[in-house]
Each structure stands twice: as structure tokens, then as C-alpha cells.
Structure 1
Amino acid sequence: MNIRFAKESDKNNIIDIWNYCFDDGPKFTDYYFNDKYKHENTIVVEDDEEIVSSLQLSQYNLKLNDKIYDTSYVVGVSTFPQARGKGYMKHIMDFTLNELYRKNQLVSILMPIDYRLYRKYGYEHCYDQIEYEIDIEDLSGFKSKGCLKKAKLDNINDLINIENNFLKDLNGTIIRDENYYENLFKEVESEDGHIYIHEDELKDGYIIYFINNENIFVRELYYNNLNALKGILRFLYNHNTQCKKVTISSPIDDKIRFILSNPKTANIKLKPFMMGRVINFKKYLESLNIKSNENLSINISVKDDFIKENNKIFKIHLNNNKLNVESGDYIPDVEFNINTITQLAFSYINGKEAYLLNDLKENKKVIEFLDLIFVKKENYVNEYI
């Protein structure tokens, strides 16, 4: 077995693994390997000089707790059936995590097909969404002053402004620029989807959606005011002769449920969406700006079975709004595995919940310290590849 970064000449072999493992269709696969794939961000496993497993590291800028981090989004984890059950996944994940540490990345994200597969590698649940399943007739009462038009590349700056305003109070988001939206147009087109923009006096909302038989799946519905939201919902209702149901994925703080005429007829559920992982605990803490003038310290023992630099006891000292972190033979105030550390670092849980989830007796001093440096927030990310 040999694990390495892919070479340019490996591309066709990696496409073969992708096509075997994922039912994406030729249009999407062509888009992905022409516009997203980079061999230098792909890790492969060779067995008898044959590539049998691979994964991709899509590069994003992640805004987490008001800081922006270069982040690898692990996607496309795939293995030919003859190589499954041989422990290759453990080895490729071990290699990947330590390469991310070596590359000085501090956090990573991953969309799991099964949470159980990735928890063992230190990835943990950090993102939720609300999913609405709505009878299209329940959208018949909405009206607005504006109109919707098919979005074009010329609208990219409008889309960026709408998205920035809509997500401004959320944590853990991806920074989107012009290049991102140019790729998004290609991605949506490759899946036969649509992007429409709402305009009244200003362009103030947009929707990305896909028609699947009698269902409309709304991947994004971003709006800057109530009029834009109502206009987009009315636009969805205009499909009532061809579709019966609308499924909408939204951030946790979305307001759609407040304006439905009869929310009881809608199926509204919490949908786990994305996992995260701390790659470099020490540097992540030292990157934070803490809104506190207190002078405090605690000792945390971190258990990380894959990145040895995290698998230590850390003395964390807060002074002048910054954290100083040292490892050593300190007496720990508390011990957490990297999974719990990740949920704290991504602001998905608070100190009290960390104790509860680990079945520990509460330590008020430690909990208060944790809540100073890890303030619980609403997280949102909506990237698929």
C-alpha cells in the first residue's frame, strides 16, 4: 500500500473510482473534473500500483468566530469494492489529517454520508439546517411588489451582496467571491438547476432550485427583506401545475416558518448537515480574539488519536483579550477528546453541554472559562463539493 498526493496522470483512474462510487451522472462529473478537481488537492491509495481509493480536499475560506481560515473540505471519499475492508480508509484519513497539520491549516470540514464513519477520526457534528417540506398549494397566498428574473453572470456582485447580508449574523460560513459564483453557475447548470434573482427597486433576494419530478428542491433561498421572501415563495407557487411539493433547505435562524399560513401542514425538521474538525488546537486558540479583559487560565487534556501534536495537556492563559497556549505535564482541570474540542471550537456547543455530553461532574470555573472563549452561535454552511 502506498498513500500519496495524486499526479496529473492519475486523473482518469480517479474518475473511474468516482463514477463507480457516486451516481452523479456525466454532466456533473464532467463539470467537477473540469472545473473543481485539482490533482494537487487529491490523495490516493495505491495497491499493487493500482489506485484503489481517493479523496479530494476542496479549498475554501471559512469564517469562524470572526476569523477567516484556509480550510480543506473533505469530499469524494471513495474506494473500489475489492479494496474495502482492508483498513485503507483509516490510513488515508491518518495521512490526510497530518498533511493538513503540516500545511498549517487549523480546521477542516466534511459532509458525512454516515457520521459513524468519521467520528473515529475526530470529525464531529457542527452544522444543522432546517428543512421544510411544503405542499405547493400552501404557498398560494403570497404576493410581492417585485419580480424574478433568471440570474446571469452579470448578477454575481448582486448575489454576493444578497448572500453577505443574509448570512451576516451566522457563524462558520464560507467566504464567496466572484470566482466562487462563476463555478456555482456551472455546478447548478450541470445538475439541470436554476438560479433566479428577485428585484423590486433593488436586487434583494435569490433562489437556487432543482425540479425533480413533482418536487422542487430549493438549495438556497436568500433574501434581504420580507417582500423578497414572499415574492420568491410566490414564484415557487407558480410551478403548481407541474409540481406538488416544495423542499427548502434553510439556516436555523430562517424566518419562513413564521409566515406560512398554516405551519402545521408543513413538515419542518432539523437536518444535520456538516461535520468539522480542529486540526491544530494550539494555533487555533492563539488565533482567537477574546472579548474579555480577565486574566484567567485552565489546563485541558486533549485526546487525539491521529494528530499527536494535539494529544497533550495544554495550559490555556487568557490575558489582554488573547490566549497563550503551552503544552506540558500540567494537572488537567478537564479532559476532552478532539470531537468535543471541535464542537466547542466551532461554537456549536457551550461549556455546560461539553460536560453533559461527556458525563462529567460540572466544574463551574472551567465552564465559565470555556464560555468566555467559545461563545455558542448559529452555524451555517451550504457547500456540497
Structure 2
Amino acid sequence: MRYLESIEERKRTRALWEEIFPEDSASFLDYYYEEKALENEILVEEAGDEIVSMVQWNPYSLWVNGRLWDSRYLIAVATKPEYRRQKRMAKLLTQGMRDLASKEMPFVWLMPAKAEIYLPFDFRYVYQKWEGDLPAGSGGEGLSVVSLAREDFAAAACFLERELEERFSVFPERSEEYLQRLQKEVASEGGGLAALLQGEELVGIFSYWPGEGNMEIRELIVDGRFLPDFLRLNQPQTAETMRRIDSLAAAIRDYFQKSGFGGAVKGEISVVNTGWLGQEKPAIMARICNFAAFVKEIRSWGPKTVVLQVQDELIPENNGVFRWELTSTDSRLIPSPGETPELALTIGELTEWLLGGDAPEGYSEIIPPKGCFFSEIV
């Protein structure tokens, strides 16, 4: 088991990717191995000169309650069929998380093909994406859509961060560099980035790529005026907001028609990761790596101390009894093996609770980050 260092070695994993994930196109993998795979961590097992199992850890900066955290997105968990059922994946996952814990990485996250693969490793769902079809739409509101130009990335990044921060406590940083890379990613499948305008005012950003027989909007972030009333005002939907949403849909469909995607307009336009349109579907799982680093961002309504027993079978530093001291600004974890715990939780239960789940009974005064948003594919 080892981490790959050279560019040549990293690119050798492409053959395993192509074998295990044949649905990914050559153009998409060209993008991935020219961009992502040159700066991530790739942990592999080999048999002779052949790479037979791998896990890749892609770096992301996350905003968590207004502070930037370093994190890793887990992808390309793959083992050649003839080498499966030998616990190779388990070894790679465990070693990778232990290494990240030693670097004080608060948590890691992934989009699972099957949740049951990762549940034994204490990953838990923390984000439900929304999937639906774009309404047929009707004109009005003076809305238009234009392709997002490189010179507009700075303004677009500011817009995205402002809108996401108003609704979510945890989300990947949106920057010019993020948008430059995203543009390359969606372009690898014939897609792009676009801006929704009301007159000259920026009121939305979306990314898209053609799917099988339809168009898929990967992410649609809009100004709060175009959000349903149950999100904006915690009130029932009004005809006014529905009119705005219909106008938004019409402008998007008109853009695709004029951009040469007429077939998509005639069929479905699926929308993913709006945070509101369509039906919720479990999407992203996460797992706390370094609990002491993670709790620095947890707060309480006032001074509070919890004697907590953490059960973590994979990362020894997290396992044990701790005195968890919280204030209204931060918290810290102090090893306290001699004390009797008042609360005992697995690291998976802690992950679920502290990244948006319900608090255990009697601990509602502890304030974790509320609301995660992830739309990343790799």
C-alpha cells in the first residue's frame, strides 16, 4: 500500500478507472487526469507491477460557519474484480482516513454508489439533493440567460457565495479558480456555465451538460426572490413566486434553444441540486476524521460541559472518553479517561448529528452547523 507521487504513476490508475467505471467518457477522464489527479492523494495497492485497488482523495476548501476548512472528497474507490473480497478497499479507506486524521482533517465526504458499502466505516448521509424537471415556463420578468464569460467569474463567485451562505452553513468554497475548473469539467461532456440576468442584474448561475436524451442542469443557484416562499419566508407558496419561477424556467429553455440544444427543450430538462426544485434524494455521505479538530466549530447557547464517550473502531485518536467544553463562540475536546460518560455515541452518530441531524434528547442547546450543500461530482 502506498501513495502515488509522480504524474506518470498517477496516470496509470486511469486503466483501473476505465475498467470499473465504463460509463465515464474518455473526454471526462482526460479532464480529470489533467486537472484533479495531479493534485490529489491516490492511495493504491499493487500486485506486481499492476495497480489492483485504489482510493482517490480530492482536496476541497469548505466554508463551515463562515470559516474555511480543508477537506477531502473521496472518489474512485475501485478494485479489480479478481482481487475483491480480500479487504483491500477496507485497508485503503482506513489508512487514508487515519492519515488525514493525523493532519487534523475535520471530515471527509463522498457520493456513494451504494450506502451499505460505507456505513460500516461510519459514513452517514448529511445532504439530500433535490431532483426534478424544469417547469415548462412562461415569459416575463425581463429575464435572460447568457453564457458565463471568464471575465465574469469573480462576480459570479461572489454571487454564489452570498446566496449559499444565506441558506447553508457548510458548502464548498466558490472562487474564480473553482469556476474555471468547473467550466472545464462540464465542457468535457459538452456543457457549460450560464448566468441568469434581470435586465443587467445577476440573479442566478447554473452549470449544465447533456444527458441521455435530455439536458441536465447540474446546479442552479438563484437570487432569493426566485426561491419558493416556504424557503424565503417559511410561508405557503404564492402565485407571485410561482410566476417568477415560471419566468426563470422560460428564460433557461430559451437559452438552450438558441444555443443549439433544441432537442433538450422538446424533452425533459432535469435539475439537480437547487435545494428546492423536485424531490429530495440522499446524495452525500460524510465521516468525521479528527473529532478534536471538528468540534472547534461547534458552539452552545452558553457555557456547557459534556462528558462524552466516542466509539471509533478505525481511528484510535477519536476513541475514548472526553470532556467536551463548549461556549457561545467555540468548543474544545479534552481527553478524560477517568470520568464516567454521560453520553456515548459512535463517530457515525456524531457525524450525522453534528452535520445537520437531530440532537440527542437533552442536548438541543449545542449548536452545530445547520444545512449542508454539495453539488460536486469529482
Q: TM-score range by the shorter chain?
A: 0.7 to 0.9
Unpaired stretches in structure 1, ≥5 consecutive residues: 257-267, 353-361
- Residue pair 1:105, 1:279 contacting (<8 A) in 2 also: yes
Amino acid aligned to 1:193: G
State the alpha-carbon separation in 2 of the partners of residues 313 and 213 from structure 1.
51
The 1:251/1:133 distance shift into structure 2, 3 A limit, reads: closer
Quote the Cα distance in structure 2 between the aligned partners of 1:157 and 1:39.
23
Aligned residue pairs total 349
Q: Which residue of 2 aligns with 1:160?
A: 157
Give the structure 2 partner of residue 30 of structure 1: 30
SS in structure 1 opposite 2:117?
A: helix
Q: Hey, what does 2:230 align to over in structure 1?
A: none
Match of residue 340, structure 1, among 333, 349, 352: 349
Residue 191 (structure 1) aligns with: 189
Q: Do the aligned partners of 1:292 and 1:321 also contact (CA within 8 Å) in 2?
A: no
TM-score, scaled relative to structure 2? 0.86
1:176 is matched with: 174
Deviation string, structure 1 residues 305-345 (Cα, Å, up to 9, x no partner) = 11001111111123574423212132111211111111122
The 8 Å contact of residues 169 and 371 in structure 2, kept in 1 or not, is answered as yes
What SS does the aligned partner of 2:105 have?
coil
Say whether the 8 Å CA contact 1:43–1:56 is kept in structure 2: yes
Given that residues 137 and 246 in structure 2 are in contact (C-alpha distance below 8 angstroms), is that contact kept between their aligned partners in structure 1?
Answer: no
Q: Distance in 2 between matches of 1:140 and 1:319?
A: 49
Distance 1:213 1:110, change over 3 A: closer
Provide, for residues 339-373 of structure 1, a one-character-per-residue CA deviation record: whole Å limited to 9, x for no partner: 11111221x11214xxxxxxxxx5x3xx24xx423
User: What does residue 222 of structure 2 align with?
Assistant: 223
Cα deviation, residue 250, structure 1: 2.9
Tell me the equivalent position of 1:64.
64
Query: Taking structure 1 as the reference length, what is the TM-score of the superposition?
Result: 0.84
Higher mean C-alpha deviation, range 6-15 or range 304-313: 6-15
Report the CA distance between 1:231 and its aligned residue: 4.5
> Given that residues 297 and 368 in structure 2 are in contact (C-alpha distance below 8 angstroms), is that contact kept between their aligned partners in structure 1?
no
Cα separation, 2, equivalents of 1:335 and 1:116: 23
Q: Which whole-Å deviations, capped at 9, do the CAs of 1:282-326 have from their partners, x for residues lacking one?
A: 2221x22625333x2121111111100111111112357442321
Partner of 2:284: 274
User: What's the counterpart of residue 145 of structure 2?
Assistant: 148
Q: Partner residue of 1:260?
A: none
> Residue 308 of structure 1 is aligned with which of 293, 316, 338?
316
Q: CA deviation at 1:229?
A: 5.2
The amino acid of 1:384's aligned partner reads I
Match of 2:268 in 1: 245
Counterpart AA for 1:382 = S
Shift of 1:201: 2.2
Corresponding residue number in structure 1 for 2:367:
373
Instruction: Tell me, yes or no, if the aligned pair for 1:61 and 1:174 is still in contact at 8 Å.
Output: yes
Q: Which residue number in structure 1 is paired with residue 239 of structure 2?
A: none
The amino acid across from 2:82 in the alignment is Q
Q: Does 1:42 align with 2:52?
A: no
Q: Which amino acid aligns with 1:173?
A: F
Which digits, 9 at most, give the CA deviation of each residue in 1:213-259, with x for residues without a partner? 5422111112224398555411343358623212111343x3x5xxx
State the AA in 1 paired with 2:284.
M
Paired residue for 1:299? 307
